[in-house]
Amino acid sequence: MSDCSSTLSTPAAPPLLKHIAIIMDGNGRWAKKRQLPRTVGHVKGAAMVRGLIEACLDQGIQTLTLFAFSTENWGRPSEEVSTLMKLFLQYLEKEVKSLQTAGVKLKILGDTARFSDELQVHIKKAESAQVQQPRLQLNVAANYGGRWDIVQAVKSWQCSHPTENLSQLTEEALGQHLSTQGMSDVDLLIRTGGELRISNFLLWQLAYAELYFVDTLWPDFDRAAFQQALDWYGQRERRFGKVNAS
């Protein structure tokens, strides 16, 4: 990761903003507008991630979760899926060392068993990289679905509590078996591309998140657009079901 920006010139993140999740939508449409193959849009979109990570480091964000590939995305054209898998592999091969140096801890959320053996090896290697005093937890959701996450958490809890009845399962206990175990819930969800849905992403963790939808296609979502999302979040009043004392 380059150190081209100064935290002294960057506004601090709004209070209570620890975890940002992003649905990076619009790569294919970005390419189509330019009469280019959809795969070119994915390449451009992948290149935007580095700047976003640097912005989060500058802002002091604790956790960033990116939706890279959903369980439903396997239904896309084979060429597009193949390109996405290659981009994922290239990212792990080229970026992990620089992420580690920058203090970024990487975790892949999702059912990785469907990936190629080569990709699974690189995932394990990337996740095992030691990061001294992590500055940012980076989660990449790949072959991920929110419903899958909840189901696997229930199964995991049952395996670890074989003698207990399901009636003894609590929200707190289940949270310890989700893919985001030990992390705070999402404070801000950003979805680019103009769609107004969460697409089976972090269903449990988004329970009280602020939802920010923007028409900007992901390859055009630069640091200025990211700052606009943070400014919008800073104006929100988060009551978590309670009534404002005033």
Its pTM surpasses 0.85 = yes
Q: Are 194 and 226 in contact (CB under 8 A)?
A: no
Is 117 designated active site?
A: no
Q: Find the catalytic residue in 25, 58, 149, 187.
A: 25
Is 165 designated active site?
A: no
Q: What is the DSSP letter of 242?
A: S
Q: Are 91 and 120 in contact (CB under 8 A)?
A: no
pLDDT in tens, the chain (246 residues): 544 443 334 556 666 799 999 999 999 999 999 999 999 999 999 999 999 999 999 999 999 999 999 989 999 888 889 989 999 998 898 888 999 999 999 999 999 999 999 999 999 999 998 888 899 999 999 999 999 999 999 999 999 999 888 889 999 999 999 999 999 999 999 999 999 999 999 999 999 999 999 999 999 999 999 999 999 999 998 776 665 655
Domains of the chain (ranges; CATH) run: 23-234 (3.40.1180.10)
Q: Are 42 and 87 in contact (CB under 8 A)?
A: yes
Residue position matching structure tokens 């439903």:
72
Question: Which backbone phi and psi does 200 adopt, to 5 degrees?
Answer: 60, 35
Q: Find the catalytic residue in 3, 27, 73, 165.
A: 73
